[in-house]
């Protein structure tokens, strides 16, 4: 079963439930809807849902909102939907969950309740990012602020397994995000991480620069969580802003305004391709669970995509593969 936190998003729980029902039917999987029982049952009734045994409802009396401080909220709200999801995994009832909420709270709830994969030093957040050539993955996207080289080396391995099994990339290229291609460029952390990665039997291309991320030749971008979080937010905003820049420019020119109207479908497509809420969200790797954290603005498609990602990970035994790959490369700690 995959647990689905229907309460924590910015939109109405109905949109998440809708995405979950679609996923349950299309993938023929069991989903556990976690949230206000009455609200969930009301929606199921209203929507004319026919009980087929693939949907369960688990009550959670509380919700952690987007703006709440993760550690404090998780301590206070013991019956929050995201914590109930984590507990369902802990108790072996669910093999993973999707939450469209507060990333920090999902991390804390997961760390508190679910064990790490044997040999993994730090769980990490993998984020799917848009590039010109399709989707890449960036790891760590914000779970670990302070890192040592051994963490980053493991992130590289977890990212490789993710790119290979979830994104179906053969022998994915791995790049270490730094300030120059030469091995001698970087900060202490990346210099030492490069030393580890360069000797591993993986497709490590060496250091990459900020320029390279969106070009799409690098399948797995490795960095610490502080840098990763900033890069993802910069990327997300600028993809939007460029269109705004052009919009500002055309405003005073009739012909250009007509032109802008003509290309609008292309702009909309581009926005869609670069919209983080389309991807289903960030993937929490390194715990004995399959957890996807959606964008706060997740709609039913995001939820559907997110649950799909959880399902793909479960079916491909991602957690087991991470252990064996770490072992193979001598990085199991």
Q: Any contact of residue 234 with a second copy (CB under 8 A)?
A: yes
Q: Which of 245, 324, 328, 333 binds a second copy (CB under 8 A)?
A: 245
Estimate to the nearest angstrom the gap between the alpha carbon of 107 and the chain centroid.
11
Binding test (CB under 8 A) with a second copy, winner from 65, 112, 165, 239: 239
Position among 38, 42, 79, 244 found at the interface with a second copy (CB under 8 A): 244
Peptide bond into 298 cis (omega under 30): no
Kindly tell me which of 39 and 238 has the beta carbon lying closer to a second copy.
238
Is residue 269 at the binding interface for a second copy, with CB under 8 A as the rule?
Answer: yes
Here's the x/- map for a second copy, 126-155, by CB under 8 A: it reads as ------x---------x--xx---------
- Residue of 148, 246, 297, 312 interacting with a second copy (CB under 8 A): 246
Which residue, 50 or 252, has its beta carbon nearer to a second copy?
252
Nearest CB to a second copy, comparing residues 91 and 254:
254
Contacts (Cβ under 8 Å, ≥6 apart) of 257: 250, 251
The distance of closest approach from Cβ of residue 278 to a second copy in the complex, given in angstroms and rounded to an integer, is 14
Under the binding rule (CB under 8 A), the answer on residue 237 touching a second copy is yes
Q: Which residues bind a second copy (CB under 8 A)?
A: 69, 132, 142, 145-146, 177-179, 182, 184, 186-188, 190, 209-215, 225-227, 229-239, 241-246, 248-250, 253, 255-256, 258-267, 269-270, 273-274
């Amino acid at each position: 079963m995959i647990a689905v936190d229907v309460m924590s998003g910015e939109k109405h729980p109905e949109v998440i439930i809708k995405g979950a029902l679609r996923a349950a039917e299309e993938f023929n999987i069991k989903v556990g809807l976690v949230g206000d029982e009455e609200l969930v049952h009301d929606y199921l009734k209203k929507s004319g849902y026919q009980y087929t045994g693939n949907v369960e409802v688990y009550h959670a009396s509380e919700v952690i909102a987007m703006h709440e401080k993760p550690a404090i909220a998780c301590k206070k709200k013991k019956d929050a939907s995201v914590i109930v999801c984590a507990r369902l995994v802990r108790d072996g009832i669910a093999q993973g969950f999707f939450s469209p909420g507060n990333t920090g709270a999902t991390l804390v709830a997961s760390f508190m309740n679910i064990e790490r994969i044997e040999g993994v030093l730090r769980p990490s957040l993998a984020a799917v990012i848009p590039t010109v050539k399709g989707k890449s993955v960036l790891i760590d996207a914000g779970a670990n602020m302070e890192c040592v080289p051994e963490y980053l080396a493991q992130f590289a391995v977890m990212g490789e397994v993710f790119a290979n099994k979830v994104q179906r990339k053969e022998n994915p290229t791995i790049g270490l995000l730094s300030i120059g291609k030469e091995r001698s460029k970087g900060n202490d952390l990346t210099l030492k991480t490069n030393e580890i990665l360069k000797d591993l039997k993986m497709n490590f291309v060496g250091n990459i620069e900020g320029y390279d991320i969106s070009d799409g030749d690098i399948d797995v971008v490795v960095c610490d969580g502080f840098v990763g979080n900033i890069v993802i937010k910069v990327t997300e905003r600028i993809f939007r802003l460029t269109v705004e820049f052009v919009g500002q420019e055309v405003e005073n020119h009739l012909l250009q305004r007509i032109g802008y109207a003509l290309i609008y479908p292309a702009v909309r497509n581009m926005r869609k391709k670069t919209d983080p809420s389309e991807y289903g969200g960030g993937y929490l790797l390194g715990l004995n669970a399959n957890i996807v954290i959606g964008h706060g603005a997740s709609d039913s498609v995001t939820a559907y995509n997110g649950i799909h990602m959880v399902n793909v990970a479960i079916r491909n035994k991602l957690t087991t593969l991470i252990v064996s790959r770490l072992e193979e490369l001598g990085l199991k700690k």
